[in-house]
Structure 1
Amino acid sequence: MSYPNRIFLIDDDEDDGFVFNEALNSLPHQFELLYYQDSEQALARLSDNAFSPPDIMFIDWNMPKLSGNHCLQSIRKLPGYDAVPIIIYSTSNHEQLQAEARQLGASHFLAKPSTLKELVIKLEAILNKQKGNN
């Protein structure tokens, strides 16, 4: 059992990306964060056959260009990505949105917390759960 080390984040909000990285750096493990603000560029990278799938992915739901919904569906169709845990990471926490995300293949739904400390706790719980699944 090992921790997911390669984490892929797609989030158009640079501040949210910074906070996410800070939260990961607060955890007692080493992680490689691959962060993309542009959903189209992220999908192009994931579609590259020379790119190895990450251990876990986080996708913002509300993004310009390609929405989290579209990204999730596209990623699940890529070879090798059917078993990669994908967590929807969104400011919206509506039950209908969560149900839709799970129906489209999301492994989990994480509402963006209001504090760094809260995000650290939630990320640690998700990563510990994934450790047990590896």
Structure 2
Amino acid sequence: MNNNETIRILLVDDDEDDRADFIAVFAGLRMNTFVETLKDGVALMNYLMNDAAKLPHILFLDLNMPKKSGLECLIAIKKIDRLKDLTIAIYSTSSSQKDIEDTFVNGANIYIRKPTHPTMLKKILMHVLAINWQYHTSGLNKDNFLLQL
């Protein structure tokens, strides 16, 4: 991404309040971003399978959703050549070691526990946007997978 390019963000989360908070925080950032949201994994896969869709630079993916879970979406995405290099940030309330391990093994780029306060959400999102994903992914290990600020 160059500095003038709009950063396309896609959040998939079934919680309407979480989607609204996410959008509100991005609206307050002084960054060139375009944020879209979807409410479940089926909608995500339909969106991504549309060849005309502009792929996001970063996909924030909730794990616990109806219809198709975030883990099911992650596994499906990584099997599709056109999508396998998509940067995926797991964005979940779960702190389960199994969830963290499963998403790491299946190719997510980072695991973020949903913060409870908008100030912390802003700090996390600014950090995620500042990551050099090419470098971060090449050195991916469990120590830098779980985001802890």
Matched ranges for 1:1-134 at <5 A: 2=2, 5-130=7-132
Q: Secondary structure at the match of 2:131?
A: helix
Conserved in 2, the CA contact under 8 Å of 1:53 and 1:80? no
**Which whole-Å deviations, capped at 9, do the CAs of 1:84-125 have from their partners, x for residues lacking one?**
210110001122211110111100000000100000000100
**Greater relative contact order structure (CA < 8 Å, 6+ sep):** 1
Aligned residues: 134
- TM-score normalized by the length of structure 2: 0.82
Q: Distance in 2 between matches of 1:20 and 1:114?
A: 12
State the 1:9 CA deviation.
Answer: 0.9
**Which whole-Å deviations, capped at 9, do the CAs of 1:59-96 have from their partners, x for residues lacking one?**
00000110011011111222322222101100011222
State the 1:132 CA deviation.
Answer: 7.2
Conserved in 1, the CA contact under 8 Å of 2:87 and 2:133? no
Q: Secondary structure at the match of 1:58?
A: strand
Q: Distance in 2 between matches of 1:131 and 1:108?
A: 10
- Which range moves more in the overlay, 82-91 or 3-12? 3-12
Which stretches in structure 2 are left out of the alignment for 5+ residues?
136-149
Q: Distance in 2 between matches of 1:132 and 1:100?
A: 22
CA RMSD of aligned residues (A): 1.9
